[in-house]
Amino acid sequence: MTAAVDETLGTLKGPPLAHGADGVYYPGERSTARDVERAADGVPVAPKVWRDLTERAAPSGIRPPGTG
Whether 15 is in a domain gets the answer: no
Domain count, the chain: 1
Segment 6-40, tens digit of pLDDT: 898 888 888 898 999 988 898 999 999 999 999 99
What does the alpha-carbon distance between residue 1 and residue 4 come to, in Å, rounded to a whole number? 5
Question: In the prediction, which pLDDT does 14 show?
Answer: 86
The answer to whether residue 19 sits within a structural domain is: no
Say if 17 falls within a structural domain. Answer: no
pTM above 0.95, yes or no: no
Domain annotation covers residue 35: yes
Q: Is residue 13 assigned to a domain?
A: no
Tell me, yes or no, whether 64 lies in a domain.
no
Identify whether 49 is part of a domain: yes
- Exposed e or buried b for every residue in 5-30, given b needs 16+ CB within 10 A? eeeeeeeeeeeeeeeeeeeeeeeeee
Is 41 among the domain residues? yes
